[in-house]
Chain A
Amino acid sequence: MLILAIETTGKHASTAVIDSDGKYFCAESTNEMSHLREIIDLSDKALSNAGKSKKDLSHVAVSIGPGSFTGIRIGIATAATLGQMLNIPCVGVSSLEAMSTGISCDERYKSCELIVPMINARRHQIYAGVWQNGTKLPLKKLNEDRQYMIEEMTKLLSSEYKDKICLTGDGIDAYEEILKKEPGNYILADENIRYQSAKNIAMLAAIKVKAGEEVSYNNLTPDYMRLTEAEQRLREGTLSSRIKNL
């Protein structure tokens, strides 16, 4: 087994290769939002770090979102192309679940009962979910992962969960002020582990492959996790009314 994992849903693109011994070989871009330009080079880099080439791959895994829309599409398109070209199966992994998994493997957050990854979806919105921390993977999901208002999530966390919570993801950076105002039993994940990373995608992909959760390249589907148009219209913003009243 040799899996190449691609993560392009965050600011920095990254790739990772995991072999059958569970060893990781990673590569990450230092540039922001340059996924399209760099993803193939980064894939080659992770493979060469592992001393392997594309033809040695058994699977290609990708973060299917949520996260940057353009990033999700670049990742899926790249993974599907590699899958088709090399005639190997693909594995789709949730960016949020992968972020939770990354935290669960870090000693620093062992005391947290819950892990809540939150990806900034702008305008007070986040893509988020609630996972139970533990050593057994995959982690147990306690609350539906979807689009939330940040205030809705802080309210949910303070009313439903009394345990110590590790927050992670770039939603922390975007809504730091709101999180400060709503003090909860939080620990904020350190910046060196806060963001999407292909290593976590690789880790979950290896588990999924063992469970037989692989798909053919043409069944790899993105999960933008966006509200449907109807829902969006319902909360039609104040800008529309400002324009009408002008």
Chain B
Amino acid sequence: MKKLKKRIIRIKSEEETRALGFLIAKDIEAGDVIALLGDLGTGKTALTRYIAKGLGVTENINSPTFTIVKEYRSGRLPLYHYDVYKLGDGNDLLDIGAEEYLEGDGVCIIEWADIVADVLPDDAIIIKLEYGDKESERIVTIERR
């Protein structure tokens, strides 16, 4: 088993969120799944927006809370943006046919991924967002294999 790579980053501004998003966008490949964790308002959608931008997605990114998933195909890779907040567990995710995207031709970013963790690939990239000491500060933990 490959060694886990864990990194903890402090970001202090929207500008740094943007830089992190672009950095991640450069690094991801087709088939990657990003499990995004973090409480309300920690900036999951904001980070997703910058990852999308970094991929070259031109459309506006909104949280797909009601549609569960949105597809964006204008970037370097297809992006499947999930918000699974309203789902009960992983089986709900499979029931909407998500499985075909998970090892597919694009990148999946899944907000509230802890809810559906049991059906996500074991080698998903985990990104956890937490509040820092100051209001605009966030602690980002990234763990990948």
Contacts and interface: CB of A to CB of B under 8 A. Distances in A.
B100 A123 contact: no
Contacts of B37: 243, 246
A232 B117 CA distance: 12
Interface stretch (A78-86, A132-140, A234-242): A234-242
Contacts of B121: 122-123, 237, 239
Contacts of A237: 117-122
Interface of B: 4, 35, 37, 89-91, 94-95, 97, 99-100, 102-103, 113-114, 117-122, 124, 126, 128, 141, 143
Given A232-B91, A246-B126, A239 B99 contact: no
Interface of A: 33, 68-70, 73, 122-123, 226, 229, 232-233, 236-240, 242-243, 246
B118 A240 contact: yes
Q: Is the interface of A mostly helix, strand, loop or mixed?
A: helix
A243 B114 contact: yes
Given A69-B100, A239-B35, A123 B118 contact: no
Given A122-B103, A232-B91, A246-B143, A239 B97 contact: no
8 contacts: A69-B99, A70-B100, A122-B99, A122-B121, A229-B91, A232-B90, A232-B118, A238-B122
Contacts of B124: 239
Contacts of A229: 89, 91
